[in-house]
Amino acid sequence: VISVLMFVTSGSYAQWVQMPSSPPLYINDVVQSDSVFYLAHGSHGVYKSTDGATTWQLISNGLITNQAKNVYQLLVKGNTIYAATVDGIYKSIDAGSNWVKKSNGINIGPGAIYEFTESIFEHDSSLFTGAWSGIYRSTDGAENWIITNVSGSGPGPKYFVNHSGTLFAARETNNSPYGYKSTDDGITWNPLTSISVPVITYLSESGRLWAGTIHGVWLSTNSGTTWEHRSNGLSPDPYSSSIIRVNGKLVTSLKFGGSGVFFSTDEGMNWEEISEGLPFLNTINKLIVYEDKIIAATSDGLWQRDTSEVVTALEERNRLLVKFKLYPNYPNPFNPETVIRYQLPSSSAVNLDIYNLMGQKIKTLVSAKQSTGSYQVKWDGKNHAGIPVASGVYLYRLKANAGVQSKKMILMR
């Protein structure tokens, strides 16, 4: 069951809200140091806040080209900041006021026209970046870069982590290897052959290494030698883009078609969704915790939610989950029509909508107030204008006071 539960706090629904004055649209990364925040933006460059993310200033002097302003990831070390961009690595030594390109030694890989440095990471005074042409290492503060034994053409690692002295690199690509590991401080790297799906991110804990992949969350308890899939309850197409701990519970964000935020109280064995308030099909790139808030960097700006709501979510889930339910459609795949069933725990305004995988609403099947009980409705594979839609994968989404649930179905003509 894929569920999004609406939790009640002090008489009102708890949910995600967009942060005041949040910079617009695509945010790839958010980094926080005390009350200072930096954002990596997908087209504007870098934003900075010195008042706890209340107001923002664009700090992109020196990020001249559009490619330089497409920032993937940031590394903050006091007043020194590194930005991994489409146009290579940029460095600021004055807290972001001015930027200088520092990509000496980084090659433009075959088939590319820019460096495409998608990550920046520090370990034992060495810097690492994953570029289109391989993994690079710098020992002089990004003045010079030396390619490691990993070279070639294609997307480089988008994320690095140090797990008990072993470095891991995540490679989100359709071509293996899907990750690398190094046991000599990043001088040489070996393919991570023990995991069979592209890796997006990692969370390192004592005795545990979590991997967020294009097929959900995986766990290794032996430094990446073997992996266990832990994704029960995540939505279809679970691209796990970030994994954090909140009040002792695991929280992961998903991006693309299965987007949302999910939490687990049993170490990833089961997941429940807490995405209410977030835009539908919003891409979530990173989660962080600041004071009593979870902050999400998304394709629609910054969003926040109280961490206390993750604590109370389990109690509310136990109260509502068995009563508020969207069932799998039948038949599935289908042609020409299918039946969608759902159950309501209380009288509520109800919307049941059909979407394509681009997030476009195809048809509204239900838009009415309904009483407690079970319901079913047919969809004949036509849009709002009565025109048959093409074969393919579609999402059906149920929204009521008790929460939001969505599932995937396949139309085959």
Quick: pLDDT tens for 350-381: 999 999 988 899 999 999 998 887 788 999 99
DSSP at 79: T
Sheet holding 260-264, edge to edge: 239-246, 249-255, 260-264, 272-273, 4-5, 403-411, 392-400, 348-356, 361-370
Task: State which fold the 4-320 domain adopts.
Answer: Methylamine Dehydrogenase; Chain H (2.130.10)
Query: Can you tell me the mean pLDDT for 195-211?
Result: 96
Of 79, 136, 59, residue with least CA distance to 104: 136
Pairing of strands 216-220, 208-213: antiparallel
Task: State which fold the 325-411 domain adopts.
Answer: Immunoglobulin-like (2.60.40)
* Range of weakest confidence among 85-89, 127-131, 299-303: 299-303
**Which tens digit of pLDDT belongs to each residue from 86-129?**
999 999 999 999 999 999 999 998 888 999 999 999 999 999 99
Burial label for 102, CB within 10 Å (0-12, 13-18, 19+), is buried
Q: Can you give the pTM of this predicted structure?
A: 0.77
Is residue 343 predicted with pLDDT exceeding 70? yes
Rounded to 5 degrees, what are φ and ψ at 250?
-75, 140
Domain(s) of CATH 2.60.40.4070: residues in the chain: 325-411
* pLDDT class of 45 with cuts at 50, 70, 90: very high
- Give the model's pLDDT for residue 275: 86
Domain(s) of CATH 2.130.10.10: residues in the chain: 4-320
Sheet holding 190-191, edge to edge: 159-163, 166-170, 179-182, 190-191
**Which tens digit of pLDDT belongs to each residue from 10-36?**
333 468 999 988 887 799 999 998 889
